[in-house]
Structure 1
């Protein structure tokens, strides 16, 4: 009976893992040096699990959720590695790892050191943030190779610090590249979270992991910056600061006038307060009217003299405002409007100088000339 129990303990007939924890990512099936898995044993892989067989340091067969009978037909890779088909044994020795594929939710992240950011309104700022994320194993084989290796037991805590570092680094880059003003950060948590999640996904894939959810709960500014934002908000709510200061002054003078006291000092304070209030109210009421009635400086306007009556007219006017003389000159050849002083038309190129003959010497002279430039004869005679 004792020998039977010994042999029964040496050859394992059922291989499985019942996960009772909330944070175990990898569990190595326990076997002593003398224990071996019996050929034809039952393998049970529960939902959200993956079983990986490792033989002499090499990954052999991988099993998804289900129930399996272990023999040469269902273990092709292991059989090839161990040359099992050439042996006449009814048991084998291998390591079995169960990888938990479920979601690990409500994982906390936060900045250990403040994130430095440059803001257009406040300059260089120190920013702190925190939030939550969820992740799971997406590739069990990659996770085995890159992370837990040959550990018998692996939990979320053993990798969480590294994941947090990746997250904070990604969030810092996103905030720096997004260039969101400090006053608008609180309204952009969702957008920052989506951008950060896309960047974190690429970094998690290297380890066979996948981030399934990411949220920014808070991005906090230094206390001094928060006070400055509060002050700016108050200024916006007050509106016209000039009118507000006048109102505050009137309130202060009224309080001084109502201060309890006696004798001439109280009377003088009351008279001074009354005069002060009158002046403040007068200034407050008169300022808008004065601003409206104050004459505005007229801009300088260029003028030209009319060629007929000599009156000054706005430069660019087409007719004289005094005599109605037309300032518009047309080409004597094509009729196109030209500058009054132009000597040639810009459309047809015709000369605008009208020539005539001197009555004495017969030389060509301008039609507007009063004397001949050749002989001095008057053209108006």
Structure 2
């Protein structure tokens, strides 16, 4: 071998490049490998580590994508790049190409949240506002598409640069999802796992369109105004109680409070009246013989029997409740336990009927229109 061949061989070894990237951060998604004038020598070594992908861009076009492994760059493993360049002599001369290393590991604990309250319509509570926040995790599943559509020529692209875009996307899709779900308002706070899975399915195609895979999506909290939260808790407790017993209990407490209010004339009068009634009832129970004698005395005017009070049954969340009086039923309508479309039934009715269609209950609706005149 001549002296010239020895020098050529030595120089060729000296100019062999090693193209690799060691990530020292937890935030870099794409890093461009910098070379002088982007020149890469023939038989350069490309080292792609686990959790990375190397993307070659030639004159603005996607040339090739390399998965983890070690490669020797020549015409055998860069046929696309060779075709794009149209070299007649292969890689005897340095070629120019941009090399981007893409992190394909999972980026976790990314934060999201609704910037403004979301307004929802609920049948029982009217218009309500909620906020939500949580975390998500993503990774790059199509490096070439991600670089072309998102990164462009950015030499060091981090997750902070994509987070604002992703958070806006999540907030918009979350608002659309909960708005179309039409769930009772209390379920947004209790069914966050199912809601998280539904939102993830809705958002996944949007992420895929730019080469990103939404791996995890969590709703950590759905918040609402404190007064609405208290109202929902109260409604939940009432829904689990025997409403007839609860009404009687509250009535008894109200009478007790009125009787104890001796500062007012009405309260004092009611207190004395209740005292007389209780005294009579206690006397009758303590002295049944006297009660028997009184009932057998002649010439005692006996009042007519009390009219039978109509009792109604009603449906709440598909469950039969009652029976209750019409006044109790009116109270439930007033506090929105039931509404005009709630089904009710009383003795003599063939079927369960919406409240608004029962004539004697239409006064609950606040209308003053008389019924139609009978036809002659």
CA distance 1:148–1:281, change in 2 (3 Å): farther
Alpha-carbon distance, 1:25 to partner: 0.7
Tell me the TM-score normalized by structure 2. 0.65
- Residues 143-182 of structure 1: matches in 2 within 5 Å? 143-182=146-185
Alpha-carbon distance, 1:252 to partner: 6.3
Give yes or no for the alignment of 1:275 onto 2:272. yes
Alpha-carbon distance, 1:28 to partner: 0.2
Larger radius of gyration: 1
CA distance in 1, matches of 2:272, 2:89: 117
Match of 1:226 among 229, 232, 249: 229
Q: Is the 8 Å Cα contact of residues 109 and 167 (structure 1) preserved in structure 2?
A: yes
CA distance in 1, matches of 2:28, 2:72: 26
CA distance in 2, matches of 1:70, 1:219: 53
State the secondary structure of the residue aligned to 1:112. coil
Give yes or no for the alignment of 1:41 onto 2:44. yes
- Residues 1-381 of structure 1: matches in 2 within 5 Å? 11=15, 13-33=17-37, 36-86=39-89, 89-233=92-236, 235=238, 239-250=245-256, 253-254=259-260, 275=272, 277-278=274-275, 281=278, 294-296=306-308
Q: Is the 8 Å Cα contact of residues 258 and 270 (structure 2) preserved in structure 1?
A: no
Q: CA-atom RMSD, angstroms?
A: 3.3
CA distance 1:84–1:125, change in 2 (3 Å): same
Alpha-carbon distance, 1:297 to partner: 8.8
Structure 2 segments unaligned to the other structure (5+ residues)? 1-10, 283-304, 311-376
Q: Which has the higher helix share?
A: 2
CA distance in 1, matches of 2:54, 2:13: 22
Structure 1 segments unaligned to the other structure (5+ residues)? 1-6, 258-267, 286-292, 299-381
CA distance 1:281–1:48, change in 2 (3 Å): farther
CA distance in 2, matches of 1:191, 1:88: 56
CA distance in 2, matches of 1:87, 1:73: 10
Work out the number of aligned pairs and report it: 274
Tell me the TM-score normalized by structure 1. 0.64
